[in-house]
Amino acid sequence: MSRVGIAQERRRSPVAYDDADMRADASRNLSRVLRTGALLLAEDPTTSIATIAAQSGVDRRTVYRRFDTREALLTAVFQAKLDSAQRVLDEARLVEAPVPVALHRYVEGIIPVSREWPLDTRRMMQTDPVANARRKEQSQRLDGFVQRAGDEGFLRADLPAGWARSMLDSLVDSAAHNFAGIEAPQAADLVVDTLLNGIGLR
């Protein structure tokens, strides 16, 4: 290869590497911003972009280039949480798998999601129609699964409407946040056993 060709190759190779490296950095920065935003906004919904940027360790100008308003950042956080919840619902196979298996898969998967994205989506998504529509669709899928569990005899038939679903949500929330030191598989064991068998002496 001529000297000119070698020089051209040297100029091309670092650019390709740098581009890939920059994309990876941008992805990591976005992930840090969204996760930090979720934690801070869960504590204080009025948290500013500047505060989120500072806490995430990402330059404020970089964050403002991606999210020009706090609402835009909040929307991205909502979508990230909904994406994670969607994967959990799909992988649990709520329609196809046996009820106890599907229930355990769901709980084991959703506890880490709740810990990673601790926003109260039911309250905060009211201002985001697109995210709220996705949340409702996911909630309806879970309602259908709880109904199936009742129809197949895994839940008592004399419970008030919505009781079992409310208990499931409360148990998941408690396992995720009040018992954060318990790993998700063990927490799922407790939630499933409590929901299906109760806590009284047998």
The backbone torsions φ and ψ at residue 49, rounded to the nearest 5 degrees and listed phi first, read: -60, -40
- The pLDDT of residue 42 is 87
Superfamily the domain 71-202 falls into: Tetracycline Repressor, domain 2 (1.10.357.10)
Which residues have C-beta within 8 Å of that of residue 45, sequence separation ≥ 6? 124
The predicted-structure confidence for 124-175, as pLDDT tens digits, reads as follows 667 778 888 899 999 999 999 999 999 999 999 999 999 999 999 999 999 9
Burial group, residue 5, by CB count within 10 angstroms (0-12, 13-18, 19+): exposed
Please count the other Cβ atoms lying within 10 Å of the Cβ belonging to residue 63: 22
Domain limits, the chain: 1-68, 71-202
E-state strands within the chain = none
| % of the chain beyond a pLDDT of 90 | 62
The predicted-structure confidence for 26-54, as pLDDT tens digits, reads as follows 788 898 999 999 999 888 988 999 999 99
Distance CA 107, CA 41 (A): 24
Mean confidence (pLDDT) of the chain: 87
**Vertex 176 angle, CA 171 and 141, to 5°:** 60
Query: Which tokens belong to 122?
Result: 């039911």
Rg (CA), the chain: 22
Q: With 60 as the cut, is the pLDDT of residue 7 above it?
A: no
The predicted-structure confidence for 106-126, as pLDDT tens digits, reads as follows 999 999 999 999 987 666 667
